[in-house]
Amino acid sequence: MRQVTVHTTISAPREQVFDFVADLAGRPAYPDHYLRDYRLARVNPYGKGAAARFLLEAPLAKERVEIRLTEVTRPRRIVEEARIGRRGRSRGIAVYDFVDEGHGTTRVELTTFSEPGSVLDAFKQRRVHRWMLRQTRIALERLRLIFEEPPEQPLKRASIAGYEPLKAARFGAHTGTDPTRRPRPGHGPTAGAHRQPQPAALAGADRTEPAASEG
C-alpha cells in the first residue's frame, strides 16, 4: 500500500493527546469503524512494547493484524510496526507526529504505509491506500472530538483475552487514560494521601511483649 498521510488540529495540550494515543487500550474509541475484534496482545497497554491484535476490514479482504509500539518519544512521536495477514507476511508502519501549535492546540499527523509479502498481497493492497486515506481521516476527526466535545458516556477500552485485572500485578495508573473520566478513588498519584495515621495504642495492640525474666 502506498504511503498515506492525514492530519488534524486538536484543542488540547500535546502531552495529553500523546498519552491518550500511546495507550493502546483506548484505541477502540476512535478507529473502531474499520478495526474490528480489537484485543490487547500484552497486559501493559501503554508505551514501548505495547501490542494489540485486530481484524482490518479492507475492501478486497479481511486481514488479521498485530501492531506493536516500537518508538514512543513523548510528547513528539509514536511509531507502530504491524504484521499483516497470514503468518504476518506483509509488514506495515504507522507514525504519529505531535506538534505543539501554541495556545493549547496540537497538530496530529498520521502516516501509514505497508509492504506486501507476496504477489497476492500486492493485488489485495493495490487500491487500499484510497480506502485507508478515508478511514484514517475519519479516525483523526473522531480523536479530535474526544477532546473538544467529550461524550457523556465513558469511552470504549480494550482488554486482553482471558485477563483478570484483580489477579494481576499492579502496573500503576497509566498516563494514557480516558481524558473524559476522573481517576477512581484510591488510584493515581494522590492515592493514600487521605489516610489517617493509626493511633499508637492500636498500632501496638497486636504486639506480644517479651515476658519479664524472673530473678
Instruction: Please enumerate in sequence order all residues whose Cβ is within 8 A of that of 170, keeping only pairs 6 or more positions apart, or say none.
Output: none
What digits encode the pLDDT tens for the residues 30-56?
Answer: 999 999 999 999 999 999 999 999 998
The yes-or-no verdict on residue 171 having pLDDT over 60 is: no
CATH code of the region 4-160: 3.30.530.20
The yes-or-no verdict on residue 212 having pLDDT over 60 is: no
Domain positions in the chain: 4-160
Q: pTM (2 decimals)?
A: 0.73
Predicted pLDDT at 54: 94
Amino acid present at 6: V
Predicted pLDDT at 123: 63
Report, as an integer, the average pLDDT of 168-178.
50
Give SS3 for 4.
Answer: strand
Question: pLDDT: is 15 or 212 the higher one?
Answer: 15
